[in-house]
Structure 1
């Protein structure tokens, strides 16, 4: 990519990130092009589909979430690693309204630009779950896909003004349901952080 084309691409992506932060996954491609000061055809040349745009926006976050799972596998007990990663996953899905539905559909569609990144995150989460199950600290009847269903539920809750204030509490309820014998380390850390914030 030529230097001027790369500059244009980065500018459009930066503007898109702002628009998507405001409007979530339903952000208008036409609005993004207008705010970026380019024609819709130029935007579509860079990002021919909505999924391609979101792949560019989310790939860095998804790759970081996958890498975090790898780090936690070797640096934390299985139950704490699982809950810590799950917490970061929930924070990620809360970053853009509607992103969960987009990722869920991409996971079922190998043709989607988001498919590879989403599949890598699913596999990373499933490995952490299996590790905790092998130790006997996570429910044996859960599957990796269930983690993402629960992330989706918490993401939806975070989008609801009536429920958002209870988001931390509901996270703890769900996390404690995932674990069978929590060591308490992850929850204690969370509670200390909450007390410190008060």
Structure 2
């Protein structure tokens, strides 16, 4: 997790607190939604409310940090999969993880989009990270001859997003729909 840069570098304990708050907030938001009381998140992170508010002056700042961290993790996962799996396996596994991400983070994403300017640094960074990750996976799979060449990274993201939204209330259908989608993306032999 990247800790935001400031004029002065963060002390080690402040960095640990920042990371712990974001991790606890991510878990709390997943369980109870982004309306979870910030004091409860501070308790979960074993820090005082003052420590939480020093790092995150308001709920929106904490939601933004959790969202950014989640996108950074999903993006990093693409790189890890490409290093450890074949292009086809990496592509398919990441698509599964993207669908799960959409299903798990939809309320957080919706809240963030309502609160934060779409031209903000966070949205620009997240857009770049996710597009680059999808592009690398898609290029590797296309170069390997396993995925059609007439789709683009944004198509891949739209498909995963659509499945995630469609299956939000019926998560058991996600794998079936993703399977049909992947079959349609594969090169016919």
TM-score, scaled relative to structure 2: 0.68
Q: How many corresponding residue pairs?
A: 175
Q: Distance in 1 between matches of 2:140 and 2:42?
A: 45
Q: Indicate yes or no: 2:185 matched with 1:171.
A: no
Q: Runs of 5+ in structure 1 lacking a partner? A: 183-198
- Partners of 1:141 and 1:100 lie apart in 2 by 29
TM-score when normalising by structure 1? 0.65
In structure 2, the partner of 1:33 is 39
CA contact (8 A) 1:79 1:132 kept: yes
Q: Is the 8 A contact 2:30 2:104 kept in 1?
A: yes
Alignment of 1:78-157 (within 5 A): 78-101=87-110, 109-157=118-166
Unaligned 5+ residue runs, structure 2? 1-9
Distance 1:10 1:99 in 2: 18
Contact 1:55 1:114 in 2 (8 A): no
Of 174, 180, 186 in structure 1, the residue corresponding to residue 187 of structure 2 is 180
Q: Which runs of 4+ in 1 moved over 6 A?
A: 102-106
- Hey, what does 2:4 align to over in structure 1? none
1:16-46 CA deviation, whole Å, 9 max, x = no partner?
A: 234311343xx227x223653666x875542
